[in-house]
Amino acid sequence: AFPITDGCRSRTKAEIRALRSYAQDLEADIVALQEVGSIEALGQVFPPSDWQLFLSQRPDSETYECRESGRQSTQQKVAFAVQNDIEVLGETDFTALGLDNPGLRHGMELTVSTPLGEMDILNVHMKSGCFKDDFSRSDSEACQTFARQAPILDDWIEAKEREKTPYLVVGDFNHRLSSPYNKLSMLMADNSNGAESNLVNATASLIGCHPYYPAPIDHILMGQLQSPALTTSPRVHSYDDMNPDNMLSDHCAVSLTLENGQLPLSTSVTWQTTSKEYRYLTTSTYHRASEYLKSASLPTTPWMVTMDIDETVLDNSDYQVILDRSGRTYTSESWAKWVASEQARLVPGVGSFIETVIGLGGHVGFITNRNRVQDHHTWSNMIALGLPLTTTNSCLMGRSSKDVSSVNGGNIINDKDLRREQLENGTSSCYQAENERHNSFPGATIVMQVGDNIEDFAGVTQETASLEALLASTETTYILLPNPMYGSW
């Protein structure tokens, strides 16, 4: 409380110093608290110079006379203390848990940005006095109140499960959730839509610190955080003096450390990111392609080389490393974020090859299955890497829905054929600055097709490609680069 003389039990300055030292020793980034009287009270233990402080906005309830001391009670609200270097993105009072009863605590939700990504954290202090595993089988007022709060809490969890939003539920549940037949635990772990729940009681293995009450009622639940690389370390933080009469509080802090470990790289990613063989293959392949063009009888009319982007021009193996290390797999969302980061590197040897094409008077047609709306990121990434590209000598075309729907099994066999046809007949829609498009790129003869996937070549699919026909072709030259990480195979 603040001042320290207020409340059922007054505090001494020495106790406040001890509590502040105890809080520092937690080495926590985010602390959820219950039974906090005011922001001023919270600031005594968590100095505002180091912490962002948040207090439930529940209106003050009537005070009462304390049983043992006869003093007047103070407010009991939930609160958060968040280290200043953690970004808090949102703060919401979870009023529903109060059941419109002035004496019941509200919950409080924070959305925070962490090294693990954004997550929602709900701080609760549930109704006290109901310690039955099945609260629905008790007629006590406490259990009847708890039975009304339980589905409200479950609805919040189910919403996060449906949204696949990473979340934590922390606080004083006033309930023994680690009991194997606890009804609230079973309710929260059973999604009403039949989907498998990701909810885990991360502190279920812990024992309460109080010598008289070993069954824990303070818990940390987590959901949508089950990355294979995630490690969790729950802990109870005892006081220096655990004599029940001398404990700084009748509850000890319970913590959960979340860390992303590093899983091993797959063989394919290891090979592409570390082997000399990969660098030799791409560099020598591009060198031979350059020498071929220098000695070839090139058309006197406009001509071009078509190139895929990913693992042909831009090396995205760092994205694959991120996936491998975290145990995640490709998603369109994570891929779009990677493209937007513009962090891809050049495939070894590609820079000098593109310089050769442009130096010989040719054009480059980039045909990529990156989403067309991200062409500006692709273009900016290539320019930042020093490629000598202009919208006059190069045409960049990401994939659109029309490229997919145009596949007809006749003249359009794969989803790059339409764009190749447009480059040849001068109807291409090429990227221009600020994500605009232009169709002034001249039609040209394609003399070479370069990619890392068989479907980067005209008129073929993985299933129907004839290697003999590709090798025997005299109409164009095919250059295929290694990519063991992913493909149409």
- The Cα–Cα gap between 304 and 86 comes to 51
**pLDDT tens column, 277-324:** 999 999 999 999 999 999 999 999 999 999 999 999 999 999 999 999
The values of phi and psi at residue 179, to 5°, are -65, 135
Lowest mean pLDDT among 418-422, 433-437, 467-471: 433-437
How many angstroms separate the Cα of 40 from the Cα of each of 13, 59, 78, 187?
15, 16, 14, 37
pLDDT band at 1 (very low <50, low <70, confident <90, very high): low
Mutual angle of helices 332-341 and 317-326, in 10-degree steps: 130
Beta carbons within 8 Å of 17's beta carbon, 6+ residues apart: none
3-class secondary-structure state, position 22 = helix
Query: Whats the size of the chain, residue-wise?
Result: 489
Q: What is the mean pLDDT of the chain?
A: 95
**Structural contact between residues 395 and 372, judged by C-beta atoms closer than 8 angstroms:** no
Residue type, 131: F
Which residues, in sequence order, are bridge partners of residue 314?
A: 310, 346
Number of C-beta neighbours around residue 223 at 10 A: 24
Mean pLDDT, residues 114-125: 95
Q: For the residues of 423-479, what is the DSSP string, one character each? A: HHHT---EEEGGGEEE--PPP-EEEEEEESSGGGSTT--TTT--HHHHHH-SSSEEE
Task: Give the residue with greater pLDDT, 195 vs 67.
Answer: 195
| Phi, psi dihedrals of residue 185, rounded to the nearest 5° | -60, -45
Nearest to 168 by CA among 217, 107, 229, 213: 107
b/e map of 138-167 (b: 16 or more CB within 10 Å)?
beeebbebbbbbbeebbebbbebbeeeebb
Buried b / exposed e over 283-305, threshold 16 CB at 10 Å, is bebbeebbeebeeeeeeeeebbb
Q: Count the helix, strand and coil residues of the chain and give each as a percent rounded to the nearest 5.
A: 30, 25, 45
**Angle in degrees, CA 206, 16, 218, rounded to 5:** 20
pLDDT tens string 219-243: 999 999 978 889 999 999 999 999 9
Please, are residues 23 and 29 in contact by the beta-carbon 8 Å criterion? no
* Alpha carbon distance 39, 75 (integer Å): 11
Domains, in order of start, for the chain: 13-260 (3.60.10.10), 267-480 (3.40.50.1000)
Question: What percent of the chain has pLDDT above 90?
Answer: 85
Vertex 28: Cα angle to 22 and 31 (nearest 5): 85
Three-state DSSP class for residue 171: strand
- Residue 73's pLDDT is 82
> What pLDDT shows up at residue 327?
87
> Which residue in 40, 54, 47, 50 sits closest to 6, CA to CA?
40
Q: State yes or no: pLDDT of 350 exceeds 90.
A: yes
Coil, strand or helix: which one is 488? coil
Tokens of 117: 């990504």
Q: What would the pLDDT profile of 47-102 be if each residue is shown by its tens digit? A: 999 999 999 999 988 888 887 788 888 889 999 999 999 999 999 999 999 999 98
Q: What is the pLDDT of residues 239-260, one digit of tens each?
A: 999 999 999 999 999 999 999 8
CA 375 to chain centre: 23
The amino acid sitting at 4 is I
**What predicted TM-score, i.e. pTM, was given to this entire model?**
0.68
Task: Decide: residue 250, CB within 10 A, 0-12 exposed, 13-18 middle, 19+ buried.
Answer: exposed
pLDDT band at 461 (very low <50, low <70, confident <90, very high): very high
pLDDT (0 to 100) of residue 62: 85
Which of the two residues, 383 and 11, has the higher pLDDT score?
383
Phi/psi for 77 (5° steps) reads: -125, 155
pLDDT tens-digit readout, 294-307? 999 999 999 999 99
Angle at 313 between CA 477 and CA 278, to 5 degrees: 85
Across the range 478-489, mean pLDDT stands at: 95
Which pairing describes strands 477-480 and 445-451: parallel, antiparallel, or unpaired? parallel
